[in-house]
C-alpha cells in the first residue's frame, strides 16, 4: 500500500535540518508507484535525499514525492542499474564488492541517483556523465515513460536537460570497468578522506556546496579571498574550514541561510565583480524578507 502523510514535518529528513510542514508527502517504493503518483497529481516536487536543498521554515503548501524508499538495483557484468532513490555511497560500495571501477567519486556523497544524474554530480575528476549509459524517465508533459541514451542528456557542469525538459529520472544504467578490488577500495578511501578534510560532515548540518564554481575558477577560493568565513547570521554560519559551505549551528532558519548567502555573494561581487550562482535549491513558502533575498540570489525565482 502506498505510503503518504499529510502535514508532514520534513525538517529532520533534510541534511540542513531546516524545513517546516509540507501539506502532502508521498513515499513510493517502486517505479510503478512513483509513476502512478505523478500521473494522479497536477503539481508536485520530487526530492531524493534532501541534501542540496533549503526548505522554507514556513513549510511548503503542496505535494512532495520522496524517492528515498526506491532502493532496487542490479549488477550484470560491468553494468549496474539502479532506481532513482538508491544512495551514491551504496552504489559505490556495491561496485567495489564486484570489482567495478567508476563509482569511487560517489563515496561519501549525501545524494541519491536521481539527484546525481539531474545535476551531473562530479568529484575527483569523475562525473555521472562519464559512466551513465542510458536511463528511464517519466515525461511529465505526455505522462509517458521514455528511454534516453547518454547523448540525449545534454550533460554539462552541474547540468543535464532533466533540469529543463520536464522529464523525471526513474532509473539509470551505468557502464563501469573491471578493476582490482583493493585499488578501487584504496581510491574510495582517499576520496573519503579528502571529502572529510574539505567538506563538513552531516554532524554539522549543511546542504553541500552553496555556490557553483564559475568558469575556470573556484567558488570556494573566491569566497575565501573575499573574507566570508567570519560571517554568521544567528545560527547559520560559514564553515570555518571551507568558505563555500554554510552550517546550521542548531536553530538556523531558512531566512538566516538566505541572508548569509546574499552576504557571501555580495562580498565576492564587490571584490571580484563576479556574481556567484547558487547550487543550493530553495523550496517552499517565502515571507516578505525571503522573497527579497531570493530575488537577489536566483535569476529565476523558484517555487
* Residues recognised as catalytic: 158, 209, 279
Q: Please name the helix (run of DSSP H) or strand (run of DSSP E) that holds residue 186, with its range, or none.
A: helix 181-198
**Bridge pairing between strands 281-283 and 53-55:** parallel
Q: What does DSSP say about strands 236-238 and 126-127: parallel, antiparallel, or unpaired?
A: unpaired
Spatial separation of the C-alpha atoms in residues 3 and 49, rounded to whole Å: 17
Contact 248, 18 (CB under 8 A): yes
Distance, in Å, from the CA atom of 56 to the CA atom of 44, rounded to the nearest integer, reads 16
For the chain, where are the alpha helices, taking DSSP H only? 31-40, 88-97, 113-118, 128-131, 181-198, 219-225, 254-272, 288-297
Cβ pair 104, 184 in contact under 8 A: yes
DSSP code, position 112 = B
- What does R_g of the chain's alpha carbons equal in angstroms? 19
**CA-to-CA separations, 272 to 71, 232, 259, in angstroms, rounded:** 44, 21, 20
CA–CA dist 37, 39 (Å, integer): 5
Residue bearing cell 525571503: 290
Cα separation, 183 vs 176, in Å, equals: 15
In terms of Cα–Cα distance, which of 75, 76, 155 is closest to 116?
A: 155
Amino acid at each position: 500500500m502506498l505510503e503518504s502523510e499529510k502535514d508532514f514535518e520534513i525538517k529532520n529528513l533534510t541534511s540542513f535540518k531546516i524545513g517546516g510542514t509540507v501539506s502532502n508527502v508521498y513515499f513510493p517504493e517502486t517505479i510503478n508507484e512513483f509513476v502512478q503518483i505523478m500521473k494522479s497529481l497536477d503539481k508536485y516536487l520530487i526530492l531524493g535525499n534532501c541534501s542540496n536543498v533549503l526548505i522554507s521554515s514556513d513549510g511548503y503548501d503542496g505535494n512532495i514525492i520522496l524517492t528515498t524508499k526506491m532502493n532496487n538495483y542490479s549488477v550484470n557484468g560491468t553494468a549496474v542499474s539502479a532506481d532513482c532513490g538508491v544512495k551514491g555511497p551504496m552504489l559505490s560500495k556495491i561496485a567495489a564488492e564486484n570489482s567495478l571501477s567508476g563509482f569511487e567519486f560517489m563515496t561519501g556523497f549525501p545524494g541519491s541517483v536521481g539527484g546525481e544524474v539531474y545535476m551531473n554530480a562530479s568529484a575527483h575528476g569523475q562525473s555521472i556523465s562519464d559512466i551513465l549509459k542510458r536511463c528511464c524517465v517519466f515525461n511529465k508533459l505526455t505522462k509517458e515513460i521514455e528511454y534516453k541514451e547518454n547523448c540525449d542528456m545534454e550533460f554539462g557542469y552541474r547540468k543535464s536537460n532533466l533540469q529543463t525538459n520536464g522529464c523525471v529520472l526513474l532509473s539509470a544504467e551505468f557502464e563501469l570497468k573491471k578493476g582490482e578490488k583493493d585499488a578501487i577500495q584504496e581510491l574510495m578511501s582517499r576520496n573519503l578522506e579528502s571529502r572529510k578534510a574539505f567538506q563538513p560532515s552531516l554532524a554539522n548540518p549543511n546542504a553541500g556546496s552553496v555556490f557553483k564554481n564559475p568558469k575556470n575558477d573556484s567558488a570556494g577560493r573566491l569566497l575565501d579571498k573575499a573574507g566570508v568565513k567570519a560571517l554568521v547570521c544567528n545560527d547559520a554560519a560559514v564553515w570555518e574550514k571551507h568558505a563555500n559551505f554554510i552550517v546550521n549551528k542548531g536553530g538556523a532558519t531558512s531566512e538566516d541561510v538566505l541572508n548569509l548567502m546574499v552576504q557571501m555573494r555580495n562580498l565576492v561581487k564587490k571584490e571580484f565583480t563576479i556574481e556567484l550562482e547558487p547550487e543550493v535549491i530553495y523550496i517552499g513558502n517565502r515571507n516578505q524578507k525571503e522573497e527579497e533575498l531570493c530575488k537577489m540570489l536566483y535569476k529565476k525565482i523558484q517555487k
